[in-house]
Structure 1
């Protein structure tokens, strides 16, 4: 294992330039002092937001404060992530966090005060040319009004906030700290303690007995805690029902979709269209069985490598070039912006001592985005670069096109641009590959993305829908009921050609996303929208590229569904999911050809 570099030893060209955000520590302190003064000014508007002039001035000051806060916050956290052990930036990021909370509190009167106005007054604000820049903000406020309670009730609900964290906190403690898995024998026959971290590695083992041992050990451990975890999940469902009743929503699902203004059909369409596409997943399962050379395909065979690891040594410079080549269909303007990111220190490339793990894209309005990588010279890292630059350029285009209020896109849209980049890169690699082994490796990598991101996440989404519906009808969610629902879904999704092991009925107990309810469907819709975009771009060329760039420039200036629809992807219809499935079918066909 080579020694990791200290942060001070990392070459300048491989570091991002965080100073682009604020201009250094001195400027940070100065802006911090300015903010303290501006926040005091904010209080002067309290009780006066009943006319267009006051609202306009208040919003303008609120924007100025929010933007400065964002820059200071991001600056402190990016520096902290470069070296999490650096005490200067530990302190600065804590200071930024405190400041952010304090400012949030100081601005919190604005929305309730405007919402306490009668509807005709709100309508007059929405129509007022003086407030044209804030039309979408005001329209959103009015839409939320139906579910906002009186001042005292809202204050009471805010206090319940801490209690409502309990199910997630308890599950997190149980799952991350208290649950202990047994030791199992690894490939060399050595006893090794099973952990969350190495469980997937064991499932990816080419030794089938090791996979089976890990699988059975994990679910036997969860089965011992099934009553406690079922009670915790139940508490979370009850919490959701409490909020949806109090805020007068027809159901928990509709409450969860309301924030992004997503129609209920988007959720049900996803599930229905995936049901109609299950024969494709079953076909892929049969192919998996054939490639693994097993009589029966078991649940613990789903992550097993189908082909020998195809070593692709891809340096960072090669990764950048290949990503640019793969994204050529998006046109010169996009490539120019991508190159700007490469050349102007947006990216922090390699791992160093105490650097935050993983990868992300982040930033603040009015400056370029920043991308954190921990690049290794492999295929995965190249896809990560394409993915994170997709996020970065989405923000870059939105920020450069729109005013501050409208630039921030929703989580529903967040994964679309990043995954579109991955789909285009994959298409490019597959077309240029001449080595059957390499092609096989790429195709199985892609097929598994469809399996895990579209099918698996939709199955999770369906499980959440079913358990909430049962609870809303007054049924009890016992451990047996949860396991039965979950097992039946696995049988339905994986098909008759597969041995669906009984142990899998406990998998619901280890999925942390179930405590962030009705979130996982966004992975599946995002992946489907991105696959649909890439298909249109590759088949239609310029008209599709223009629509797509329009999407990137739309930020959060309209509702997510409308933004996608204008760009040619209508998520309220089954079409984009069907388009994604036709790409999946093509991947399976190519795999079948190669295995004849």
Structure 2
């Protein structure tokens, strides 16, 4: 095993350039101290805003402080993440968080104060040229006016948030800190520690005894606490239903989707279209059973790779070449941004002691994007790098073409650009690889990604909507009811090729996303939209690529997310994008089956 280097041993060119944010820690400290002067700048607006000039001043001041605060946070959290063992930067991040809490508290009055302006007056002011940069923001505020309560009622709800949030906090503490699992035993009798983090690695093993041991030990532990966990889940669903009712929404789902102005038909279309295409997932499980040579395909056999013993090393230098080639259909403007990132130290490439694990794209308005990697020479890291550059180019262009108040984008569209990049990479590699085993490996990875991001997340979405509907109709969310619902959904989704047991029926107990109020469906819609857009670009050429650039990547949050996607070529209010994505899945499934048959 190679030695993990210390931070100071990294080559400078392999690290991100945080001096592009602040030239030194001293410059950061001066800005951090300076930002506190903004704490009092909102006082003049608290008693009310009585003119469009005053409204403009308030919005511009709040935008200015938001830009400054975001740069401080990004610098501190990146410094911390590059070496979490460095106490200086741990303390720096903590101090920034404390200051940001003060700033956010000091300016929390702004939205309620704007909402105190009557609707007709606010609409009239919003038409003025002086407020054109904030017109859409004000339009969105007005659109939610019907669900804003009186100051007294809003204050009561705010104070009750700690109580209504308690079930989530209890579950997260229990799930992350208190749960302990028995060791996994492999086929040779060796023991391995089992945790939330190691579970997937165990069930990916080619040792079936090890897979079964991990699966049974994990879910047996959850079954021992299913009544407790059903109580915390019922508590958070009750909180969702309570707030939706108090605010005058039709349902919990109506409130959750309204935050991003997403029609409920999008949710229903997703579930219906995926259900209409479950025969493809059933075909996949049948293929998995055949290739693995199993009499019974169990749920713990669902993650182990179908294609093994494939040497597919990928150095960082080679990965950059593959990525750039695969993105050429997007044109020079797009690839020049990627080249800039590679050449100007956007990427922190290699692992070092104390560095945060995983990968992400970060940054804010006024900075370039920053990508954290922990590079190992694997093709999976190539896909991760390409994925994160999708986020980074999206952020770069949104910040370049939008003002800071509209440069961000909602979670509904956040994963589109990253998965779009991966789709282009997969297509390019399939066309240019000569080794069939490598092609099979890639197809297996693509199919498993689709299964996890579309089929499985839609199953989660169906479960989540059903439990909210049950609660809103007065049906208790007992452990028995949740097990029955979740077990039946697994049987429907994965089909007759799978031999089921009681363990999988308890999986709902380990999914933290069910505490996040209609969040999971966006993984499915984002993935499907990305597949559909990538297919359009590959088939349609330069004009389609430019449409994607101009109508999606550059738009930020300057329009409703559903409109941004529609203008880019994907209408999520219809079933077409999901159906198109299913065609991609079917094509890849047929390609894998053909290659596997050829290899036999």
The TM-score normalised by the length of structure 1 is 0.98
Gapped regions of structure 1 (runs ≥ 5): none
CA distance in 2, matches of 1:48, 1:275: 52
CA distance in 2, matches of 1:2, 1:205: 23
CA distance in 1, matches of 2:74, 2:439: 41
Write out per-residue CA displacement over residues 499-544 of structure 1, whole angstroms, 9 at most, x where no aligned residue.
1223211111111111112101111111000000100000001121
Residue of structure 1 in register with 2:361 after alignment: 361
Per the alignment, in what secondary structure is the counterpart of residue 194 of structure 1?
coil
> In terms of mean alpha carbon deviation, does 41-50 or 86-95 score higher?
41-50
Per the alignment, in what secondary structure is the counterpart of residue 297 of structure 1?
coil
Give 1:182 shift: 1.9
> In terms of mean alpha carbon deviation, does 206-215 or 549-558 score higher?
206-215
Q: Structure 2 matches for 1:134-533, cutoff 5 A?
A: 134-533=134-533
Contact 1:348 1:371 (C-alpha < 8 Å) held by counterparts: yes
CA distance in 1, matches of 2:175, 2:311: 34
Per the alignment, in what secondary structure is the counterpart of residue 371 of structure 1?
strand
Residue of structure 2 in register with 1:541 after alignment: 541
Query: Residues 174 and 37 from structure 1, CA distance in 2 versus in 1: closer, same or farther, beyond 3 angstroms?
Result: closer
Contact 2:415 2:526 (C-alpha < 8 Å) held by counterparts: yes
Give 1:593 shift: 0.9
Write out per-residue CA displacement over residues 273-327 of structure 1, whole angstroms, 9 at most, x where no aligned residue.
0001101101111111111011221111101221114221111111111100111
> In terms of mean alpha carbon deviation, does 234-243 or 527-536 score higher?
234-243
Give 1:35 shift: 1.7
CA distance in 1, matches of 2:187, 2:322: 36
CA distance in 2, matches of 1:556, 1:452: 28
Contact 1:458 1:524 (C-alpha < 8 Å) held by counterparts: yes
Give 1:155 shift: 1.4
**Residue 589 (str. 1) matches residue 575 (str. 2):** no
CA distance in 2, matches of 1:384, 1:93: 26
Write out per-residue CA displacement over residues 442-477 of structure 1, whole angstroms, 9 at most, x where no aligned residue.
111111011111000000000000111011111111
Gapped regions of structure 2 (runs ≥ 5): none
Residue of structure 2 in register with 1:577 after alignment: 578
> In terms of mean alpha carbon deviation, does 337-346 or 499-508 score higher?
499-508
Residue of structure 1 in register with 2:75 after alignment: 75
Give 1:246 shift: 1.3
Contact 1:467 1:477 (C-alpha < 8 Å) held by counterparts: yes
Per the alignment, in what secondary structure is the counterpart of residue 498 of structure 1?
coil
CA distance in 2, matches of 1:25, 1:207: 50
Moved over 4 A (4+): none
Per the alignment, in what secondary structure is the counterpart of residue 197 of structure 2?
helix
Per the alignment, in what secondary structure is the counterpart of residue 341 of structure 2?
helix
Give 1:187 shift: 3.3
Give 1:132 shift: 1.2
Write out per-residue CA displacement over residues 313-366 of structure 1, whole angstroms, 9 at most, x where no aligned residue.
111111111100111111111011110000111111111110111111111202
Contact 1:361 1:389 (C-alpha < 8 Å) held by counterparts: yes
Per the alignment, in what secondary structure is the counterpart of residue 469 of structure 1?
helix
Give 1:53 shift: 0.3
**Residue 58 (str. 1) matches residue 58 (str. 2):** yes
CA distance in 2, matches of 1:197, 1:579: 34
Give 1:249 shift: 0.8
Contact 1:204 1:304 (C-alpha < 8 Å) held by counterparts: yes
Per the alignment, in what secondary structure is the counterpart of residue 104 of structure 1?
helix
CA distance in 2, matches of 1:181, 1:588: 36
Contact 2:341 2:347 (C-alpha < 8 Å) held by counterparts: yes
Residue of structure 1 in register with 2:16 after alignment: 16
CA distance in 2, matches of 1:354, 1:328: 36
Residue of structure 2 in register with 1:554 after alignment: 555
Per the alignment, in what secondary structure is the counterpart of residue 197 of structure 1?
coil
Query: Residues 360 and 184 from structure 1, CA distance in 2 versus in 1: closer, same or farther, beyond 3 angstroms?
Result: closer
Contact 2:186 2:213 (C-alpha < 8 Å) held by counterparts: no
Per the alignment, in what secondary structure is the counterpart of residue 595 of structure 1?
helix
Contact 1:48 1:54 (C-alpha < 8 Å) held by counterparts: no
Write out per-residue CA displacement over residues 51-83 of structure 1, whole angstroms, 9 at most, x where no aligned residue.
100011111111111101111111111101111
Contact 1:50 1:114 (C-alpha < 8 Å) held by counterparts: no
CA distance in 2, matches of 1:30, 1:185: 55
CA distance in 1, matches of 2:44, 2:462: 49
Per the alignment, in what secondary structure is the counterpart of residue 147 of structure 2?
coil
When the two chains are superposed, the root-mean-square deviation of aligned CA atoms in Å is: 1.2
